[in-house]
Structures are given as C-alpha cells and as structure tokens.
Amino acid sequence: MDILKKIEMYREEEEKLRWEGSFADYLQLLKEKPWVAQSAHSRVYNMIKDAGIEEENGTKRYKFFCNQLFGLEEALERLVEEYFHPAAKRLDVRKRILLLMGPVSGGKSTLVTMLKRGLESYSHSDRGSIFAIKGCPMHEDPLHLIPHHLRTDFQEDYGIRIEGNLSPLNMMRLEQEYAGRIEDVLVERIFFSEDKRTGIGTFSPSDPKSQDIADLTGSIDFSTIAEFGSESDPRAYRFDGELNKANRGMMEFQEMLKCDEKFLWHLLSLTQEGNFKAGRFALISADELIVAHTNETEYRSFISNKKNEALHSRIIVMPIPYNLKVSQEERIYEKMINESDVSDVHIAPHTLRVAAMFTILTRLKEPKKGDIDLVKKMRLYDGENVEGFNSADVDELKKEYPDEGMSGIDPRYVINRISSTIIRKEVPSINALDVLRSLKDGLDQHPSITNDLRERYMNYISSARKEYDNIAKNEVQKAFVYSYEESAKTLMNNYLDNVEAYCNKSKLRDPLTGEEINPDEKLMRSIEEQIGISENAKKAFREEILIRISAFARKGKRFDYNSHDRLREAIQKKLFADLKDVVKITTSSKTPDEQQLKKINEVVARLIDEHGYNSTSANELLRYVGSLLNR
C-alpha cells in the first residue's frame, strides 16, 4: 500500500477516536466505563497487565517487555508486583519516586522508553483512554471540578475516589467562561505524546548555574502582566514545565541524583502530597509517575550525603542488574545487530552464543560451594541440566550474592567488538573465533579494565573458547554422521538391549543366527567410557538407566534418545570417536582425493542446509575442527 494512503488511514483512525462533550456527558461515560478515571500508576499497571502475563517455573513473564528486555524476568516481576501493582491500588508506595539502579547498558533507559511508548499506544485504546478539561495546559482530570463536599456522595454513586484540587487556571475559567456551571465545562479525550508534551515529560539536568526551576514548574509570562495586571493571575503563567506537561502520565527524571537540591525538593511535595508549588498560586495538584535512573556508584554517593535523608524515604530503589542467562544475552545481541547496518553480514551459528558465554562469565561471582565451577553455574542459570544439580541448587546459588549481575562487561562493548570484526575482516561472514579474538584485543582499549581484571577476563575468553571447541566438534560430528539421529537411536537401542540383559542376568538372541549370546560388554564399556564411567561404577549406571526406563513406562511415556542427558552425550561421543579418523583425514588433507572431496562437499552441504552456515563459515569450521583433532 502507498505510504501516503497509510498516513491518510492513520489520520482517519485518529479522528474516529476523538471525543468531546460536556462534563455532564463525561459523567454519563463514566457510568459505562469507570476505568476511564484511573490514576497514572493504575494506568501503567493495567497497560502492562493487559498485554498479557505468563508464568513459567514460578516466575512471571510480562509480554509487554518480551521483545525488548531479555533475561530480566525476576527484576521486572519485582518492579511490577512490588511497585506498580500496589501503587495502582493506591497504597503508600505510589507516593515514592521510582529509582531504577543498575550498571550501564543494563536496560534501564530501554525500560523507561518502553513505558513511554507503551503509554502513547495505550492511550489510543479503549482501556487506556484518558479525558481532560478542554484547553487545560496540564490536561487536568475533569473530576477535580466536583466540589470537596460532594466527593463522598460521588464515590458512593460511581465507586470512584477523587484526589486533587482544581488548578488556579481552571478555577478562574470555571467562573469566567462557564459562570460556575460545572456541568457545562467542556471535556475532551487526549492522547499521550512525548513529542507533543502531552502526559509524558522528560527532565534532564544541565549546568546548575544556568538551569531554572521553571523547567520543572513553568514560569510567568511577563509579556501578559500588563494585560492581566498581576503576576498572581493564572492567565499570566505558562504551565509548561515538565511536571505540568507530564500530569496524568509519567515523567522521566534523567540523572536525578546529579540534580541541584532545589529541584529535588519539589519532588518531595509532589510524591508525598500529590501537588507542587508554582509561582504565586496555591499548591497545584498533579497525578504522575516519576521514574529516575542511576548507577550504583552515584546512588551510594547520594545516600552517604546526610542532606539527602528526607529524600531517601521518598525513593523506592529497584535494582536492574545485567542479564545472567547466555540464551537471553544472545537475543540482546541479535536485537542490536538487527537494528544496525550490518544485519546483512552472515554470522556463523554459535558465534553470538560464545560471545554471550564470555560476557555472562564476567558478570557471575565465584560460587562459594567447592563442587561447582563458574562454567557449570553459567549453564545452570541458563536452564541447562547439569548432572548432580537441580533447581534447588540454582536458588541456593542466587542467594549467595544478592548483588550478582551489577558488574561485568556490558552488551554495547560486545556489539562494538562484533562490529569491529565485521569491518576489519571485510568479508560477508564472521565466526566465533573472529569475535573471541576481537574481544581479547579490545580488553587493552577498555579504559575501566585494570590489569587484574584483564587477566581474569582473558581466562573467561579461554573458557568460552573451550566451550566453542566442544560445540564445533559436535557440529561437525553431526554433519559427518549420515542420518545422525537414526544412527544415534540405533546405537542407543542396541546399548539398552544389552543393559537390560546385563541387569536381568539374561541372554540376548542373535538377530542373524537366532542363538543366545551374552550381553556385549565391550560395546557397553565403549559407550560408558566416553563419559568417564569407571569399571566400578558401570553397574550403578546401568541400573540407573533401567530404573529411568521403568519410571517412563509407568507414566505412559516412551524412553527415547533425549530422555537421559549423560547417555545421549555418551552416544554422541561414541559415534564421533568411531568417525574421528575419517573426519581428521578428510578435514586436514591439503590435497583430498576424489572420495574425500565428495565427503567434504556432502558435509559442507549439510552444514549449510541443516545447521545455518554459509559456504565460507562451513569450510572455516571444518578446517578448525581438523586442526583440533590433529593436535
């Protein structure tokens, strides 16, 4: 469809949503749609809730955040359930400034931007519709028109509680334009827009010497004083500060803790009492969510200053740590790459995963328990099965360091190194080794990395490289084994038949001769040795397998190739061990013969068709695995 046609259709849709009527019409509308009168905090909570909530392993996932914020499920659940939800219920928590605290590039700004853009969209929906006194620069709630002595009656009739007083400007307009007839005051539907400064504001501190408090609360328009005769006439005042314009919605207070004290005192009154002082007027009511963000160093400095004690109790601090899951870190990189101009460059499979492994290792803290290392911890956090550990161990690990994830390498550094790799290599394909090399080179250029830290990070790069070596060998192994899954299943079924006969002290029947034969001990040991099962431990391992098969049978499930992680690993390694010499010769031969060349081409084709490589990255993978096997 032509873009101009789409613009026209959008304009028509906007027109359909517009509504204007008298205050009496608005009251009728409230009877039908009481949610229209919700508070700013309630609107934010309902916006998040209406987008959908899923529960997985006891943790809530909010669809509102799904495609932009990754690996922050626990932090977001805490934010929604401990701040937005009680604030929506008018509990005392709504009288607090929300301060998001976390490391750089951890998602704080993204979260605030999502709330802003979300409110803009939500205000166009029926559930998120907002109405205001027409012509009011602060988009004031029409219910402020109802006198205080009638508000109890109104609450009994409508079930809606009214908070806040009519602003000085609208009080004057009510008398002068409507002759005190509240029912005739015009009300209109408004739509939040940061660009148009409607319901969404952003305040960023500048030089304390030059910044004026008017940026927050508005200012006197001196050109109108001659016309209106007084500075205390509300018509002579410009209600254009960020607190004015963000009324009914939210205001982002950037770098709040760097701000001059006089700006922060206005927030005390606004958060606690729901009003602020502007010009020579009575207190002005405002209903808005104030969100600020900072890093841990600035916050520690702020709370150590005794002069800020009054503000401490007015702030709710929500930690937003780095993501600690490898799979989610991958998604962050994918998102950042897709938003860049290098999205057409082929990135070989597992490249981003290996980069993510390094990043997550820098953010994790060494486990206090001696039976687990950092790599196992990383796998457990990502939901992988690690033999000998379960979900209770993961919970225990998380309790060891409540501040885990507040330091380490940020996603932007990794994306910068990936971008550098793409530009420097000048080819349409990069792989995991290219990126690891670039990450290593970049450590020297990172200003905040000390020598000790650099040495530790180098070890993490080595750990990520080891993980990639295993991934690479496994990938080539799968590509070399024709009908890999079928071969694996056949080998596993053969093993299980022998294990069953061994445990039951029975014999097997030879499929060709029909004669009874003893279980094939050599076959069973050749598989078990792949995962370090000793001669003494073989009986216990085989019995465990048999118990697992029985448990599956009782539940009506079929025990298959993916039912036992260690057995699957053993089968894979056994298959690869049998093929190792073929792989080694084929991948490392400088002048492959016709048969070898055919095999290489078959493997390359399979890597491309089934595993997501292109011709360049597939051949690079084969050469690398060949070099690993020849060491």
Q: pLDDT (tens digit, 9 = 90+) per residue, 157-178?
A: 999 999 999 999 999 999 999 9
- In the chain, the percentage of residues whose pLDDT exceeds 90 is 47
Per the DSSP assignment, residues forming a β-bridge with 219 are 238
Tell me if 601 is assigned to some domain.
no
Residues 231 and 161 both lie in one domain: yes
Tell me if 611 is assigned to some domain.
no
Give me the pLDDT at residue 359, please: 96
1 band by pLDDT with thresholds 50, 70 and 90:
low
Among candidates 244, 218, 241, 242, which has minimal Cα distance to 231? 218
The pTM assigned to this predicted structure is 0.83
Count how many domains the chain has. Answer: 3
Residues 31 and 171 both lie in one domain: yes
The two beta strands, 237-238 and 219-220, are antiparallel
On the question of pLDDT at 210 being above 70, the answer is: no
The two beta strands, 346-347 and 429-430, are parallel
Tell me if 606 is assigned to some domain.
no
Give the domain range for residue 231. 19-319
Tokens of 469: 């070596």
Residues 378 and 450 both lie in one domain: yes
Residues 138 and 205 both lie in one domain: yes
* Secondary structure class of 59 (helix, strand, coil): strand
Q: How far apart are CA 54 and CA 48, in angstroms?
A: 12
Residues 160 and 307 both lie in one domain: yes
Residue 372, CA distances (Å) to 9, 354, 367, 380, 388 in order: 60, 20, 7, 10, 10
Tell me if 10 is assigned to some domain.
no
Instruction: Using the 3D structure, point to which of 436, 467, 498 is the last residue of a domain.
Output: 467
Residue 578, CA distances (Å) to 347, 477, 532 in order: 31, 10, 17
Q: How many CB atoms lie within 10 A of CB 626?
A: 17
On the question of pLDDT at 611 being above 80, the answer is: yes
Tokens of 73: 């499920």
482 band by pLDDT with thresholds 50, 70 and 90:
low
Tell me if 627 is assigned to some domain.
no
Residues 76 and 186 both lie in one domain: yes
Per the DSSP assignment, residues forming a β-bridge with 190 are 130
590 band by pLDDT with thresholds 50, 70 and 90:
low
Residues 96 and 160 both lie in one domain: yes
Instruction: Using the 3D structure, point to which of 292, 319, 346 is the last residue of a domain.
Output: 319
Residues 448 and 493 both lie in one domain: no
478 band by pLDDT with thresholds 50, 70 and 90:
confident
Residues 135, 173 contacting (CB under 8 angstroms): yes
Residue 586, CA distances (Å) to 427, 487, 573, 590, 628 in order: 26, 20, 19, 9, 13
Q: How many CB atoms lie within 10 A of CB 570?
A: 23
Residues 331 and 310 both lie in one domain: no
Q: Average pLDDT of 180-187?
A: 95
Residues 314 and 330 both lie in one domain: no
Among candidates 97, 298, 72, 78, which has minimal Cα distance to 203? 97
The one-letter amino acid code at 439 reads: L
Identify the CATH number of the domain in which residue 273 sits: 3.40.50.300
Residues 285 and 361 both lie in one domain: no
Tell me if 372 is assigned to some domain.
yes
Tell me if 192 is assigned to some domain.
yes
Q: How far apart are CA 508 and CA 510, in angstroms?
A: 6
Residues 314 and 359 both lie in one domain: no
Give me the pLDDT at residue 157, please: 92
Residues 286, 241 contacting (CB under 8 angstroms): no
Instruction: Using the 3D structure, point to which of 319, 338, 363 is the last residue of a domain.
Output: 319
Q: Which DSSP category does 84 fall into?
A: I
Among candidates 36, 48, 39, which has minimal Cα distance to 247? 39
Q: How far apart are CA 527 and CA 491, in angstroms?
A: 9
Tell me if 280 is assigned to some domain.
yes
